[in-house]
Amino acid sequence: MIEKKHGAILILSGPSGCGKSTLLKEVYKNIDEYYFSISTTTRKPREGEKEGVDYFFTSKEDFQEDIKAGHFLEWAEVHGNYYGTSLKPIKKALEKGKLVIFDIDVQGHEIVRKKLGEKVTSVFITTPSLEELEERLTSRNTDSKEVIEKRLENAKYEIKYFQKYDYFLINDDLKEASKQLVSIANSTRIKSKLFEKELATIWMK
Amino acid sequence: MIEKKHGAILILSGPSGCGKSTLLKEVYKNIDEYYFSISTTTRKPREGEKEGVDYFFTSKEDFQEDIKAGHFLEWAEVHGNYYGTSLKPIKKALEKGKLVIFDIDVQGHEIVRKKLGEKVTSVFITTPSLEELEERLTSRNTDSKEVIEKRLENAKYEIKYFQKYDYFLINDDLKEASKQLVSIANSTRIKSKLFEKELATIWMK
């Protein structure tokens, strides 16, 4: 008997303000058997952020110890803070045949792709333009002017990597963008590379 | 302004009896801006098949002339008959940004992929097992015993190529399989390879 679906990884990247979190909420409503990978970070929680939901918040010291112990699939320093992904829960979810969803940056994407190669499908999400990103960041009113500047600089840097991703998704219409992201999520687990090479033989038995 | 979607090609292959035609009908209801590439063939129409809907039916002589004139994107001889895809309508549809859908065999897939490379997404569709394929072919009551034998032999040959396809779709539940095929169709036109390399620059303007 051939397994119809396999464990796979869906990586989402894109500048803060591109609407990733809102899109993700739509995805969750419309797919099953997923596991959202929660990052660990040393940055301070923003208003409303919850431990174990948005991030696992930790100290720089503990984070550095975990790096040494090899507990991270990937980690990076961004804007002076550490962000990382613990390996254990990912492995478990993949073994169970789940779709593991990551919200990580371009550096993280590169590392995970290198390490878990064929299991990965990735989407770069962005606004239609840089101006629109600035507008969204300003109007959400959560960051200081300096932080917004930093995010915009970072966005300019990240978008250069869009062709390393499998898909490029412009989020200018939430309904349409959600539909496309759900479509991508629904198809990742039947990529032919996830099936065993011996499948042809199994099929003929 | 960045185009949000691009012209792309979706290739479907799989043994006769795997349910491709039924699945395709579901896809058509749920996607837009597609163009279904109708093949030209020298085989006799089966009962109910219509010229210009199922195939363009033609003579061996005319087919061979079109080959010489370079009118085919791909062509092949299968079970003693010619099958081919005319190039012109495909080009037009791609320029208009449509999703061009092909129902062709493994040979055709290889040729189209070689010629139109990055634009191609492909799906190998099959039944859960060879026995089930035999059952379906027998129960649909359209082919002689000899033709069914030929089709089963061909299926055994074709499935060996499944890893050349992007997706592997087991059609044992029409509703689920349709959903997956629609998902694949919906995501093909935002593959990052379809976007210009200059996009990063455009986005920053």
ipTM, 2 dp: 0.86
**pLDDT computed for residue B198 by the predictor:** 66
Nearest-5° Cα angle at A2, A191 to B129: 110
Q: Give residues with Cβ within 8 angstroms of B146, minimum separation 6.
A: none
- Taking CA–CA distances from A179, the nearest residue in chain B reads B186
Reported as a single tens digit per residue, the pLDDT across A150-195 is 999 999 999 999 999 999 999 999 999 999 999 999 999 999 999 9
Q: What is the DSSP string of chain B?
A: ---S---EEEEEE--TTSSHHHHHHHHHHH--SEEEPPPEE-SPPPTT--BTTTBEE--HHHHHHHHHTT-EEEEEEETTEEEEEEHHHHHHHHHTT-EEEEE--HHHHHHHHHHHGGGEEEEEEE-SSHHHHHHHHHHHT-S-HHHHHHHHHHHHHHGGGGGGSSEEEE-SSHHHHHHHHHHHHHHHTTBGGGS-TTHHHHHH-
Band the pLDDT of B197: cuts 50, 70, 90: low
Among A22-31, A37-46, A117-126, A191-200, the range scoring the smallest mean pLDDT is A191-200
Q: Under CATH, what is the fold of the domain A8-37+98-204?
A: Rossmann fold (3.40.50)
Name the amino acid, one letter, at B130. Answer: L
Q: How high does pLDDT run on average in chain B?
A: 92
Chain B residues with CB within 8 Å of chain A CB: 1-2, 4, 124, 126, 128-130, 156, 159-160, 162-170, 172, 179-180, 182-184, 186-187, 190-193, 195, 197, 199-200, 203-205
Note whether B172 contacts A200, CB cutoff 8 Å. Answer: no
- Taking CA–CA distances from A183, the nearest residue in chain B reads B183
**For the purposes of burial, counting CB atoms within 10 Å of the CB of A154, is it exposed (0-12), middle (13-18) or buried (19 or more)?**
middle
**Contacts of residue A13 in chain B, CB cutoff 8 Å?**
none
**pLDDT computed for residue B49 by the predictor:** 93
Q: How high does pLDDT run on average in chain A?
A: 92
Percentage of chain B modeled with pLDDT above 70: 98
Q: Under CATH, what is the fold of the domain B8-204?
A: Rossmann fold (3.40.50)
Note whether B162 contacts A193, CB cutoff 8 Å. Answer: no
pLDDT of residue A201 exceeding 70, the answer is yes
- Taking CA–CA distances from B153, the nearest residue in chain A reads A204
* Cβ proximity of B103 and B164 under 8 Å: no
pLDDT of residue B199 exceeding 90, the answer is no
pTM summary value: 0.88
Closest partner CB to A162 (pick from B167, B186, B192): B192
pLDDT of residue B86 exceeding 80, the answer is yes
Average pLDDT over residues A64-84: 92
Band the pLDDT of A140: cuts 50, 70, 90: confident
Band the pLDDT of B142: cuts 50, 70, 90: confident
Q: How far is A199 from chain B (nearest CA, A)?
A: 8
Which residue has better confidence, B115 or A1?
A: B115
Query: Between the CA of residue B157 and those of A15, B15, B77, B153, B162, what are the distances in Å?
Result: 47, 10, 15, 6, 10
